[in-house]
Structure 1
Amino acid sequence: MGLLPKLLPLLLALLTGSGVASAAEYQITIAGMNFGAPPAELHVGDVIVWRNDDIFRHTATARDKSFDIDLPPKSEGRMTISQAGAVDFYCRFHPAMTGKLEARP
């Protein structure tokens, strides 16, 4: 039998969704040359929809280069949180626009 009996409970949990947290989707809106507040309960696997409501092009660019979302006016971009920890971000076109994402495992 070997490994199968040990993996069976994990496989069942994955297939049924029990014991596995589902990813959440959050939106961060850019308006008035400012990033909206990031979500407080962000976890690895969650999705962020960046929405640019301004008439100017913006980016959501990680200082550690882990993401760089280009957002023309009136557009959206999506990303999935891939690692836990804090990441500072800014707009490459408007460096005074800043924020911080903090993700838990």
Structure 2
Amino acid sequence: MTAGALAVAPALLTIAPPRTHTIFVEKMKFGPAPTGVRVGDTVTWVNRDIFRHSATARNHAFDVDLPPGGTGTTVMQTLGTFDYFCRFHAAMTAQILVTT
């Protein structure tokens, strides 16, 4: 193996495939935020309530509609802390941290 190939090999080992994280919505609350969300990961919200909800980022990065009993997803595209809320129930708020 050449020196160039050795220099590239460790970088390949640190690339993790995208993951899916699930947040359950029930009793008019967002469930706990998942840990370890990275750019490229998918976040899925599952609405267990009988009411329509949304997961709407305050910075407009995502806006997921969640009909009763439905699910919605978004792929996290950028780093940062994302505050989000339900468009239909202003008291429902949460936050997701996205890292590298």
Q: Which bracket does the TM-score occupy, shorter chain normalised?
A: 0.7 to 0.9
Cα deviation digits, residues 77-105 of structure 1 (max 9, x gap): 11111001001000000010000010001
Q: TM-score, normalised by structure 2?
A: 0.86
Identity %: 39
Structure 1 residues not aligned, in runs of 5+: none
**RMSD of aligned Cα (Å):** 1.6
Question: Where has structure 1 moved over 6 Å in runs of 4 or more?
Answer: none
Greater fraction strand: 2
Structure 2 residues not aligned, in runs of 5+: none
- Aligned counterparts of 1:93 and 1:65: Cα–Cα separation in 2: 16
What is the number of residues matched between the two proteins?
93
- Aligned counterparts of 2:18 and 2:48: Cα–Cα separation in 1: 25
**1:24-35 mapped onto 2 (5 Å cutoff):** 24-35=19-30
Q: TM-score, normalised by structure 1?
A: 0.82
Matched, 1:66 2:54: no
